[in-house]
Structure 1
Amino acid sequence: MTQSDIEAVLFSAAKPMPLDVLAEVFSVTPQTMEVALSQYEKALVQEARGIRIRRSGAGIELVTAPETGRYVSRIRQREDKLSAAAMETLAVVAFKQPVTKAEIEEIRGVNSEKVLKQLLNRDLIAELGRKDTVGRPVLFGTTDTFLRSVGISSIDTLQREIRIQESLELSEVSSTETKEDAKESANTEEAEFTAE
């Protein structure tokens, strides 16, 4: 197995491949495959190639090198972008999944049927099953395509980062409120002292 072989397999796969599947393709152990991938990864960086290896929860894949971004972005600009409504709906699905259409609409406050169809067509969300309630509504969740597009390994990782960010923002607000309370208390004490 050469680096060219690895490159050809990853390129032709056109989607992330789990490590154990790659190992099976090359008839090697996952440990041997990991060593070969690491060597290939280093070679791509050292040779300043236009591609890199990216690992995510979906598997291992080839992606463009960050330094080629200004050229790649010109191609991306030609592609259809998600609307603000689609981005908002996708965010709700990502953070609340599994979630029904009615729950999405309750959060957004608008009909989301058209947007959900668009996200389904782009393979960013998928039907995960049905909720065990009256009417048995469809449950939606994100896909491996979504994970790849945002460059994260799992939804748990994304939700954990959001919780950390929210706690940081809350501590900043709490810190600001404590300072304001202390300042207000000092002003009150000063006013009482002046009155005496």
Structure 2
Amino acid sequence: MHLEAVLFSSAKPISIDMLGEVFGLSTEEVQDYIDTLQRELEDQNRGIRLRVSGAGVELVSAMESADYVGHIRKREDKLSNAAMETLAVIAYKQPITKAEIEEIRGVNSDKIIKQLLTRSLIAELGHKDTVGRPILYGTTDEFLRSAGVESIEALHQEVSETEG
């Protein structure tokens, strides 16, 4: 199937609209191909799966292969607890300024915000219309992809369901 080859060759998720253009198919037809490939990968117990998120469709390693993949990625940079906390605040409260983040966390967040910007997990969304015009931050498609969620609304829904 060509869909698998296209997804494999891409360095980042591909939108369903883009896949429709590539294959000359409607959104519904592309979704059918995605569903079929997803079932085949699971039924054949393959080491890869499809992940559909707000960023698009991509191939990822199967959860069952996590231990083996983990050996390869031992040295992969992990986010610190402080970075995860800051990212959670931004995801939940966005758009948000650095001062607002620091007010919630109670500590300086300069270094962590720079780290999250460098990793493309957050982005500058503009400036708040107040004195000093501080930068507003929000999450990116890369954040959605790494979190495995389709949208910020879906993430908020998941949080609400776990709280209630």
Q: TM-score range by the shorter chain?
A: over 0.9
Aligned to 2:84: 87
Distance in structure 1 (CA, Å) of the matches to 2:41 and 2:161: 33
Aligned to 1:127: 124
TM-score, normalised to structure 1, is 0.79
Q: Partner of 2:73: helix, strand, or coil?
A: helix
Q: Please identify the structure whose Cα radius of gyration is greater.
A: 1
1:141 aligns with 2:143: no
Q: How many aligned residue pairs are there? A: 164
| Greater fraction of residues in helix | 1
Among 147, 158, 161, the alignment partner of 1:150 is: 147
Higher relative contact order (CA 8 A, sep 6+): 2
Among 17, 24, 28, the alignment partner of 1:20 is: 17
Question: How far did residue 59 of structure 1 move?
Answer: 1.1
Q: Partner of 1:120: helix, strand, or coil?
A: helix
Aligned to 1:194: none
Aligned to 1:60: 57
1:32 aligns with 2:47: no
Runs of 4+ in structure 1 over 3 Å off? none
Distance in structure 2 (CA, Å) of the matches to 1:76 and 1:52: 18
For residues 94-134 of structure 1, the C-alpha deviation after alignment (integer angstroms, 9 at most, x for no partner) is: 11100000000111111111110000001111111111111
Letter in 1 for 2:144: L
Q: Choose 122-131 or 155-164, whichever is displaced more.
A: 155-164
Aligned to 1:70: 67
Unmatched tracts of structure 2, length 5 or more: none
Q: Choose 5-14 or 103-112, whichever is displaced more.
A: 5-14
Aligned to 1:102: 99
Aligned to 1:172: none
TM-score, normalised to structure 2, is 0.94
Distance in structure 2 (CA, Å) of the matches to 1:26 and 1:164: 38
For residues 24-48 of structure 1, the C-alpha deviation after alignment (integer angstroms, 9 at most, x for no partner) is: 0111222222222222222212222
Distance in structure 1 (CA, Å) of the matches to 2:29 and 2:60: 22
Coordinate RMSD, CA, aligned: 1.2
Unmatched tracts of structure 1, length 5 or more: 169-196
